[in-house]
Each structure stands twice: as C-alpha cells, then as structure tokens.
Structure 1
C-alpha cells in the first residue's frame, strides 16, 4: 500500500543532472578524496561507538558484556535432545541435528568473514525428562516456575552423560512430536542465578521446541541472543498486527524469515568482526566506497570499508551500509545503500534499530517479503536522501565493477 512521504525524500534529478553528478562524485570516490573531516573509528571505540548501557542487549559497543561469550573464535555447542514420558520420539537425534547444522555454522562463518566458527556437538541419543511435556506448561510467555523446573530437570537428566564444562553454548532440543511441545516457545533463557553443573556456571540456554522441519534460520536468530544481540522485531501489545515494522527483512534478529538476513554492519562491529579498518565515523563530509556487508573478502585480501556511522546524539547514531545479493543476503529483494538508526538505550524488542525507508511511497516483493514497505528501503545509484529529523544527506554515485558502492555522506556538524 502507498504511504505518505516523511520529512525526507529521494531526489531523482534529470538524466543529464544524474550523469553530471555521477561523473563528478564517481571521480572523487575513485581517487578516495575526502571533502571534509572523516574520522575512522579505531579498535572497539572511536567517536561514533555508542557506549553500552544497562538496557537489555544494549547495542552500545564501547566495551563487551563479559557475561556473554564473544564469537571471535571457535565456540563449542552441545545439543541435548529431550524426550518425555508417554511419548516415543518419531525422529532420531541425527535427523533433528541436521535441521540446524551445518546450516547455522555456515551462516555465522559467512556473516563473520570466517572469523567465527560455531562447532556443534549433538548427542546421539534421547535424554528422558521426568515429566510429560504438558506438565511443564510450555508456551511463548511461559510461567517462570514451570520454565525453571523444565530447565533444571533437563540439565539434571543430561548431566550424567554430558560434561557441560566443555561447552560454551547449550541447546536443549525437545521432541517436536511430544504432546504439549509448543514451537512458539523457542527462545533463549537467561538465569538471574546461573545453574551449576560439572564445576561450571550455565548462565543461559537455548530452548528449542521447533517442529520438523523448523523455521528457516531460527537457530541463527536464537544464537544471536547468546552473543548479546537484541530482538529487532516489534511485538504488538495485543498480539495482533505486524511484527516487522522496525527492520523488515534486513537482519536475522528481526526475522528469521527475512530475505536479507545477514547481520547489520553495526552488529558485526559489536561482535568484533569489523574493526576500525572497516568502519568510518563521518564528521562533516566524506566520499566512501562501501563493500556490501554480506560479501566475502577476496582470498588473501583485506576487508574494505563496510560501515559508515554518523553520531546523532549521546545515545544515538545513523549507520550506512551496502547490501547486495551475496552470501547470507543472496535472496534479497533489493540492493543498494541501507540507512538505519541505532539507539543504545532502547532494550531488546523496543526498537533499538530502525531501518529508514528511502522510498516511502512504494513497496516491493509483496509475495515474499516479511514487510514489503521496507523491502525497497535501500538507496539506488543516482539517488540522494536526506534523513528526516537529521542534518545528514546520503548520495549514491555509482556501483563499481566489483560490486561496491560509491557514496557521499554529508552531515551538519
């Protein structure tokens, strides 16, 4: 459905004007000239690195929350398969593990440019729970007492055969065919007080209740929470309405069904997959060549600039990145330069990221997109957009033969 224009809008100049602008801006970008002061963020900080706040899964990234494992190395995950009295599983554990691996490992290898490997260790037999699944009252908004009983019973039942001290991540996978198993209850549970097993603290577990086959990319989404990433979807207060108004298809933490589910460049910066060499903090005006965040680096080469950031306040920033039909984004609806807001004080599920729709009067891929109004959010070649409420303008000059995008960012500072 068409929507009203906001304060900002895409400027589409005449063909002659486009040609002149592209020639001028492409020449600047090709020579890597900086028309104004562009400050590159260094390491994990820099002038555009918002500070981490007390918000749940804060998107601040000046330091890492040490209670979460950081995926900058190989991490080991155990998969425990839970059966219940009165119900014999119809599927073998190896069938269920194949629903998630190696697909989830490959997702993170692509997203991290090979810097992180998730190494699964699926158990080869069922672990019997002491009560039927229905006894635990499994559902999305789970009674905390029953949920705690489920988790304690599961860890106790598996402890005799699993050395939990060997693993960084715990997946508890319920028999999908057992009566009382609700697929809507799949989530990560964080403990106020860690469970203790094999001399190690278990601070959180991923509880999996998916049907077979499961939702696409569901384990990548839940594993993102293990790494302190927030839910980016909007949950309607009455349970009805659209869940994908904040980010649409553009990050797996918004929707596991998204057409472009690779993690935002900001997430990759937070997780340590991008550093100061790939992030530019713009103050003034800068001409940049942005490599798409989903594109793998050339073998033997370095990762080029993947993210431009404009600091807009004490607790907010604009992020600018290129998205293309490569890697995890190979099924994307549209390609171009994506702009989104970051708010480090907004908690998980409250809208800490908001994709800015640079084409508010149109929508795309209505038959495939989780939220068609944002499916065509990126800017294309020859388009200019001024961000509503900010003094920031983004111009897309050209797309290089290698697939990068030449962009000019102008701020009001």
Structure 2
C-alpha cells in the first residue's frame, strides 16, 4: 500500500530537530553485528557469491537466492489491462483515456529507465466505462478496508468486466474507479493479493491493483503499486496511531518508500532482486582489508559509460540475514530531481516483512538535513557520503571512503569491512 503525504508537507524546524535525534538513536540501536564470512585477503566477488541473502517467509522478503514464482518477474515485456469502473450514484466527468494518461506512459517510462531497458510494461486501457452493480458508497471504500466489502467490490468488478475483457491476455490488472464517485477514497489505492485466486476466462487472478486516485493522481503512485506486483516491499514506516513521519526508514531514496521522493529510483538491491543488475555489476566485498571500486551512478542510462557493465552495487555481508549495501546516486534518470549526490549506504534484512524496515538508509550526516522545502524527510536527504569524506557504519564498523569522482560521473570508493 502506498502512503500519503500528510497535510502540511515537510515537518517544521522543531519537529525536524526532534526527529533527527530520534533517527540517530534508532540508527545506533538497530545496527547489526558483523559476522566475518570469509577470512584472509579481501575478495570482490563479481558473482554476488556469499553476499546473496536467502529468501525467507517474510512478506516480500528481500532475500534473492531464489525468485518467488507467485509473482511475475519483470525481465521482459509484461502486459497490463486497465479497467475503468463507474457507479450508479455518480456520472463520470472524465474519460477513461484521461485517467489512463494520468499514469501512462509515465509509469512504463519509470520502469524502462529503472531496468536499463530490460523491462517493458505494456498497457492496454479499456476505452469505455464498466458499470458496477452497486453504488460507490455501498462498498465503504477506505484505506483499512473491511475484507468482505473489498472482496465484494473485486468480485463485482471482475464479473462486470468479464464480457469485454479477456483476462488470459494480461499479466497485471488495474481496476480504476471513477475518482469523482462519492464513495471513492484515494487512500485505498493498493495491491490486493488473494489467498484464493479469482477466476476469470478460465484462469486464476492472483492479485489486482485497485486504483482510487484523484485527478491528477499522486506522482509515481502506480510505479509504487506495480512494484508490489513484482514482490517488492513497502519501505515506509507507518506510525501505530497514524501520526508522525512515515519516511524515517529510507526518506526520498526509493519509490517503494515514497512516491513523492526526490530520488525515487529503485535501490540497487531491488534491481539485483528483479534481475536488472547482472553478476558483473555487483561486487561482494569481504575479508579483513579494504578494496577500491568505481561505482557507476545507479540511475544512469545504458548510454552512459558503465550502463551495460561497471559496478552499480557493492555489498558487505553482516550476518546470516543482513547486509550493508553501497551504491552511487546522482542526478540522472529517475533520480534527476535528487536533493544531493554521493555514495548511499543502507542496511538490508531478509527476515523483515514489508513495512517493517527491510531496508534502512544510514545517514552519513546525522547532524544536518537538506532540502527541507522539497524532501519527504529532510534528515535523510543528505545521507550520501560525498567526495573526500569517510564514514564508518555505526555499530558495525564497515568504513566507506569516497576518494573522487571520475570524468564520466562515477565515484571512486574504498570499502573496508569490519575486522
């Protein structure tokens, strides 16, 4: 489920200072203890080797030794249908074409850039409205939706569309509700996974993306939701009482954290999981010494030097279920609006479920913040390590030194795992 920006946008200064102190404390408390997996000289293993975390039973686990075949893997072309639903209690003021244009081709373009052209999301929007049998208010649509009401909505929608849509042709189903209907709640946009698949046209439908966005919609909202279709987790932190900041885990740095992020390209770990980074682009750093690497900007397109090769991600294994990931983030591709550039460090935990912090960005500048007027979480907006800086991961000991930046825009780094 995608989270919403709360009223007022960015926190005020006193709140920011309080959250900064809290975030620094949490960083210290949640540090993972290091476990040496390989003794002797440093090894930069290009096949991922010992740095591959195993997949666990956690929902959307970030283990990547195997692929969960319950989900489509976006390494080729996938087809998606958009079905537009109207209700007896409202007359649509927009056309299906207008609503389709709210999301596409922008969402397809996002994934084309993120995958370095390896994945194409091909959409097939229906041109006319599908009539729902009940009023929009009858379904009581909301973020934490009653399961019975939600099931009734989905059954009714698929049944109503079945005469005109051949569901066997599509890998992804988007059900788009009339945004002006009185019972539609934009906070209910999410992916619904079925314990028992729906049946249509003789095939199982295992999940559906329910879209209740207003016009115009949240930026990158379908990139976020479609990420769930590919087994990616929520990276935001939802406060227990619904109050407070949602973005303390990753800030602006991945669309699975916030669709409003200034640098929303998917983390290198996600790209590795999805198959968009190959063995030559991931360096597994292990041992007791230091190793020097050139990290190409993660979001740089294939036309840029290193786009089809070069190292995009460095990984230091920290235990049976954890790792430190290191990648370069620059103002290009999906990250073109980034607040800061540099070498980003984050923790990965394979046993943490979606929404429970499977990835946490480590702040290299815990006493400062940046872009308070634009960032979803200014304390992490300046998290990357800059040229000439050295940073040691709190509680774990891995040291990252950024020596310089090459003419092509890559970063030269030295990574020293904990002794």
> Which residue among 389, 394, 400 is the counterpart of 2:406?
400
- Correspondence 1:113-152 to 2 at 5 A: 113-152=116-155
> Which portions of structure 1, spanning 4 or more consecutive aligned residues, are displaced by more than 4 angstroms?
1-9
CA distance in 2, matches of 1:46, 1:199: 42
| Alignment-derived partner of residue 224 in structure 1 | 227
- Correspondence 1:316-395 to 2 at 5 A: 316-395=322-401
| Alignment-derived partner of residue 409 in structure 1 | 415
| Alignment-derived partner of residue 18 in structure 1 | none
Q: Which runs of 5+ in 1 are unaligned?
A: 10-34
Q: CA 1:129–1:231 in 2, change beyond 3 Å: closer, same or farther?
A: same
Q: 1:6: Cα distance to partner?
A: 6.6
> Which residue among 256, 260, 263 is the counterpart of 1:260?
263
- Aligned residues, how many? 386
Q: 1:244 and 2:252 equivalent?
A: no
CA distance in 1, matches of 2:73, 2:396: 33
Q: CA 1:163–1:8 in 2, change beyond 3 Å: closer, same or farther?
A: closer
Post-superposition CA distance 1:164-219 (Å, at most 9, x none): 00000000000000010000000000000111111211000000000000000000
Q: 1:315: Cα distance to partner?
A: 0.4
| Alignment-derived partner of residue 13 in structure 1 | none
- Correspondence 1:4-403 to 2 at 5 A: 36-42=41-47, 46-284=49-287, 285-298=290-303, 302-403=308-409
CA distance in 1, matches of 2:308, 2:244: 44
CA contact (8 A) 1:94 1:124 kept: yes
Post-superposition CA distance 1:54-106 (Å, at most 9, x none): 00000000000000000000000000000001211000000000000000000
SS of match in other structure, 1:124? coil
Q: CA 1:342–1:106 in 2, change beyond 3 Å: closer, same or farther?
A: same
TM-score, normalised via structure 1 length: 0.91
CA distance in 1, matches of 2:299, 2:308: 14
TM-score, normalised via structure 2 length: 0.90
CA contact (8 A) 1:233 1:255 kept: yes
CA distance in 2, matches of 1:113, 1:233: 25
CA distance in 2, matches of 1:365, 1:299: 27
CA contact (8 A) 1:191 1:204 kept: yes
Say what the alpha-carbon RMSD is for the aligned residues. Answer: 1.6
Q: 1:7: Cα distance to partner?
A: 11
CA contact (8 A) 1:41 1:48 kept: no
| Alignment-derived partner of residue 20 in structure 1 | none
Q: Which runs of 5+ in 2 are unaligned?
A: 1-15, 29-39
CA contact (8 A) 2:44 2:291 kept: no
